[in-house]
């Protein structure tokens, strides 16, 4: 069977998995667990989805790659029922940040077992970052990635119980990405551009409605400055 090739976004998520048993929540096509097991980076995996159609698609692909003895599929909402597996890593990719928060918020075993999480939110990134900080999760490492002209944050996260605070810019770009901005200058600039555009719209909207936009202007200025530094 030919080797499966991941898109840059999914490849970045796969590269942040470090253990031998991965649970991929919201798997859809199951490309990520197929890649991990096929390449030997993981020995086995659970691929779950909330909807039967994507899960059927996942099963089809898993069968096609002859991996049905190594990748189990589960129809479930988020992490419900996933606690019975002995996984080392949990991937939640390609979902909105608020959906990811909802999934983590009702799965206390993730904290208790200090499982490694690989998160790739599509929207509401600052909200997810704030939630992770408030809940005692640490972003261990991450790298911005560009895929089909869009930039994504892909982060490896683990609970350690420490309390942290991030400012608005850190919530958008990630403190780790800021500290390592020279490692991925092109992607970091794209990430800055994404939030510069968000903040410009915010400032314009507030200004048009005659409201004070002092803190938004400050945030925008910091984003522009960080962009200039790489
Ligand atoms: C856009 S796809 C992402 C697929 C893959 N993870 C990726 O990153 O390419 C999102 C998938 O998540 C599933 N999903 C959404 N909410 C979910 C939840 N609460 N629990 C499990 N799966 C969910 C959807 O059915 C869909 O198949």
Reported as a single tens digit per residue, the pLDDT across 22-31 is 999 999 999 9
Q: What is the pLDDT of residue 127?
A: 98
Percent of the chain with pLDDT over 90: 98
- Report the C-alpha gap between 181 and 175 in whole angstroms: 10
- Local confidence band at 139 (pLDDT 50, 70, 90 cut-offs): very high
Question: pLDDT tens across 161-220, in order?
Answer: 998 999 999 999 999 999 999 999 999 999 999 999 999 999 999 999 999 999 999 999
Task: Using the atom order of ligand 1, give the atom closest to the CA of residue 94.
Answer: 8
Average pLDDT rounded to a whole number, residues 135-149: 97
Say if residue 109's pLDDT is above 90: yes
- Report CA(192)–ligand 1 centroid distance (Å): 26
- Report the C-alpha gap between 203 and 216 in whole angstroms: 6
Angle, CA of 121, 123 and 171, to the nearest 5°:
75
Average pLDDT rounded to a whole number, residues 130-136: 97
- Local confidence band at 76 (pLDDT 50, 70, 90 cut-offs): very high
The pairing of strands 150-159 and 137-147 is antiparallel
- Report CA(26)–ligand 1 centroid distance (Å): 3
Output the ligand 1 site: residues, CB below 6 A: 10, 25-28, 48-51, 54, 77-78, 93-95, 99, 103
Q: What is the pLDDT of residue 187?
A: 98
Q: What is the pLDDT of residue 210?
A: 95
By C-alpha distance, which of 105, 152, 107, 154 is closest to 132?
A: 105
- The stretches of 85-165 forming alpha helices (DSSP H) are 97-105, 109-112, 125-134
- Report the C-alpha gap between 127 and 129 in whole angstroms: 5
Task: Using the atom order of ligand 1, give the atom closest to the CA of residue 27.
Answer: 6
Task: Using the atom order of ligand 1, give the atom closest to the CA of residue 91.
Answer: 6
pTM of the model: 0.98
Average pLDDT rounded to a whole number, residues 28-37: 98
Average pLDDT rounded to a whole number, residues 105-110: 98
Q: Decide: 175 and 139 in contact? Cβ < 8 Å.
A: yes
Beta carbons within 8 Å of 39's beta carbon, 6+ residues apart: 3
Q: What is the mean pLDDT of the chain?
A: 97
Say if residue 1's pLDDT is above 80: no
Say if residue 85's pLDDT is above 90: yes
- Report CA(80)–ligand 1 centroid distance (Å): 14
Average pLDDT rounded to a whole number, residues 88-111: 98
Average pLDDT rounded to a whole number, residues 111-120: 98
- The stretches of 1-51 forming alpha helices (DSSP H) are 8-15, 31-38
């Amino acid at each position: 069977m030919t080797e499966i090739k991941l898109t840059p976004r999914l490849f970045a998520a796969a590269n942040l998995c470090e253990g031998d048993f991965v649970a991929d929540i919201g798997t859809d096509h199951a490309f990520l667990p197929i890649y991990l097991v096929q390449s030997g980076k993981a020995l086995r995996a659970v691929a779950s989805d909330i909807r039967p159609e994507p899960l059927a698609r996942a099963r089809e692909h898993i069968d096609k790659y002859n991996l049905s003895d190594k990748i189990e599929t589960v129809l479930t909402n988020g992490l419900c029922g996933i606690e019975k597996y002995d996984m080392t890593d949990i991937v939640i990719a390609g979902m909105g940040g608020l959906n990811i928060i909802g999934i983590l918020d009702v799965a206390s075993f993730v904290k208790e077992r200090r499982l490694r999480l690989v998160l790739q939110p599509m929207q509401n990134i600052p909200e997810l970052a704030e939630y992770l900080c408030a809940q005692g999760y640490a972003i261990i490492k991450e790298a911005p990635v560009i895929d089909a002209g869009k930039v994504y944050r892909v982060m490896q996260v683990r609970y350690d119980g420490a309390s942290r605070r991030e400012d608005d810019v850190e919530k958008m770009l990630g403190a780790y990405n800021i500290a390592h901005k020279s490692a991925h200058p092109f992607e970091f600039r794209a990430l800055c551009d994404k939030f510069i555009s968000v903040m410009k719209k915010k400032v314009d909207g507030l200004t048009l409605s005659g409201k004070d936009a002092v803190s938004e202007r400050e945030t925008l200025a910091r984003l522009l400055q960080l962009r200039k530094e790489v």
